[in-house]
Chain A
Amino acid sequence: MADSPACSLELPAPHNAGALLRASEWLKEESLRNAVPAEQLERIDLFLNEALANIIDHGGPSALAAPILLRLNFAQLPGLKEATITLTDAGMAFDPLAHPPKPAPKSLDEAIPGGLGIPMIRSLADEMSYAYLDNQNHLAFTVRWITTASEASGQTIPGVQVRPFRLDDLQVSAQQGASRPDMSWMPLFRGTDVDAVLKILNQCDVLILPPGTPLLKPGAANEAVFILLDGSLSACLDSDLNPEAAIPIAPGECIGEMSAIDGKPVTALVVATDEARVLKVPPELFFNRLLTIPGVARNLLIALTERMRRTNETMMEAQRKQLALHHLHQELDVARQLQASMLPLRNPMFPERDDLEIAALMQPASEVGGDLFDAFFVDDSHLFICIGDVSGHGIPAALFMARSIGLMRIAAMSTMRPDEVIGKINEQLCTGNDTNLFITLFCGFLNVKTGRLVYSNGGHCAPILISGNKASAIPIPKGALVGALPGLTHSSLEMVLAPEDTLVCYTDGVTEAQPVSGEEFSEERLIELLRRVGNQSTEYIVESVRQAVTEFTGSNTLDDDYTLLVIRRHPERTMKSSQHSRK
């Protein structure tokens, strides 16, 4: 409970109607200084008028011969403010509260014109008390009101200081010592009568907000207008408090005038970014006193217009960005098509061949991916196959992938040893690789006549061999991922792909696919699935895996790219008869 110091007025004897006017003027000045709302001020004013009239008319000679003392107190209660005015007079003891209320007249004929004062003031008070002490009447009259949002929240904001406005609040450092304060830095007061404005500012409070303290919160009611005197504030329209969306408020700018004008809740969060010194102009002072000073209303309109223009510009800018983003998306679509065109994405891959059945799939996580695969004949009988996965995804991974696949095609044409292919690519990718991107690679040369597969590996997951109703990962030679460290040597292994055997190469996007919460698809699930569909066409196998992964994650959007390359050998002459399930 923070009580303001009491203010008082002594009305000297003899008393007359002029004293009432003087008391009323004094009350108004004090009430404005303490931001008493108009309705409460009117109630106190009426009480004062009636009570003083009573003292003068009915207090007798002792009342008229002695001064009447008026005292005004303010108190802050939780969510409420109260004003109490106490009248002390030396007249005859008279307790208005002990007076039984007159029954209200039922008709005009019954009505007695006088005697209305006491019931009137009793109906106006939120609380009244009376005491007769030291031969004096002490009559106290209290009104209360709900404090405005910023005042009310002021109680819950620790560390906010409130003090009356001082003249040096207006002195920016450059004008220290100037005899008259310059207010031209406050747009609202530009070109206005300094003295008239000061007279009103002198009745205002200044809030001192520590950094991080909110001044206004979205959705809260606000009646007052604030002007930043010093420090910095920022207004945030975004609910997620995106610091980039915050609008800085410069000293001199107005805050809260929009909600004060239309009475609607505050729309922005206004927070002190540094310690901020803020002038608070109560609505009564703002609308009834400040705006009536020539020039102030015009300045306010200018400020509001500027704000509207700024909003328009921000909206135009947002629209422009949206358009740019749209273009970027279109370009990404083109990039995706270009990337896809680098890969042999056609199923089946070698429709002209009876001895080979290959199907492939690449599912990018973003518009463009970092996975790659390839299969092409280096001579009549030798097929080069490869699958790889660039670390990361998006545009950088796609560019790295494009570089990798180009280098690999060249390397595969110059040697038949897969470990050399990987070694060459490793050296080339390491040269000038500042991007910290690298790639896992599995590659090999398959003799389609004998089924001999010589293969090498650079950090990639082992392909799965389906043979009859069995499926299992093939043994792979150790080898580090490609493009990370120069000078590494890779080794190779070999195996025989028997007729009707199927080799499933994949990237870890398949086995690491997972729902928003839950375990990964896993190698075990993949092997189990391949065991079930292993005797179907290679295209059918690819589609089965795709469906299973989509169902498993419960989503069409992927965390990582995934790629499948499924290779099967057929006995040369009987091939077509075995393709019973091809779609």
Chain B
Amino acid sequence: MEISHEDINPGLRRIVITGRLDIRGTDMIAARFAELSTEAKRNVIIDFTGVTFLASIGIRALISNAKALHKMGGHMALVVGDNTSVAKTLSSTGIDVLLQMFTRLEDAKKSLDSVAA
């Protein structure tokens, strides 16, 4: 379970999560994930391309952070790359309606550029 981030520009951060987002994995990164998502008022791209397993607990964390960010006026977008199983889980739970989901990082950037935080 790994979580890392890069600040693409002052208004946009990319958080990369890899590994198994089950109860244990989510526990391990939950605090850091919340912190990275909401520590500054900026838009955030969550990169789930490297997530091998996404349980509801992981989605719960994602939604909590998205809501918190939204309240602060920021926006969140998801990148899943070619990770079809994660994309399927996200769409089966309706998350793709709440958060914009992209296969390409470039597209996520473009989308968030148009809604500056």
Contact = CB atoms under 8 A, between A and B. Distances in A.
Q: Do A and B come from one complex?
A: yes
Interface of A: 17-18, 20-21, 24, 38-39, 42, 45-46, 49-50, 53, 104-109, 111, 113-114, 116-117, 119-120, 123-124
B50 to A, nearest CB: 15
Contacts of A104: 94, 97
Nearest to B86: A42
B85 A108 contact: no
Contacts of A114: 60
Interface of B: 22-24, 27, 53-57, 59-61, 63-64, 66-67, 70, 85, 89, 92-94, 97-99
Q: Is the interface of B mostly helix, strand, loop or mixed?
A: helix
A121 B115 CA distance: 34
A117 B55 CA distance: 8
A24 B64 contact: no
A307 to B, nearest CB: 30
Contacts, number: 69
B43 to A, nearest CB: 14
Contact of A49 (B55, B66, B98): B55
Contact of B53 (A42, A105, A108, A116): A42
A119 B61 CA distance: 17
B89 A120 contact: yes
A223 B22 CA distance: 30
Contacts of A42: 53, 85
Contacts of B60: 113-114, 116
Contact of B63 (A49, A108, A120): A108
A123 to B, nearest CB: 4
B22 A111 contact: no
Contacts of A109: 67, 70
Contacts of B85: 38-39, 42
A259 B66 CA distance: 44
Nearest to A104: B94
A21 B24 CA distance: 8
B56 A117 contact: yes
Contacts of B70: 108-109
A119 B59 CA distance: 13
A64 to B, nearest CB: 15
Nearest to A39: B85
Contact of A46 (B53, B61, B66, B94): B53
Contacts of A49: 22-23, 53, 55
A29 B108 CA distance: 37
Q: Which 8 A-B pairs give the minimum distances between C-beta atoms?
A: A116-B56, A117-B56, A123-B92, A104-B94, A113-B63, A113-B60, A113-B64, A49-B55
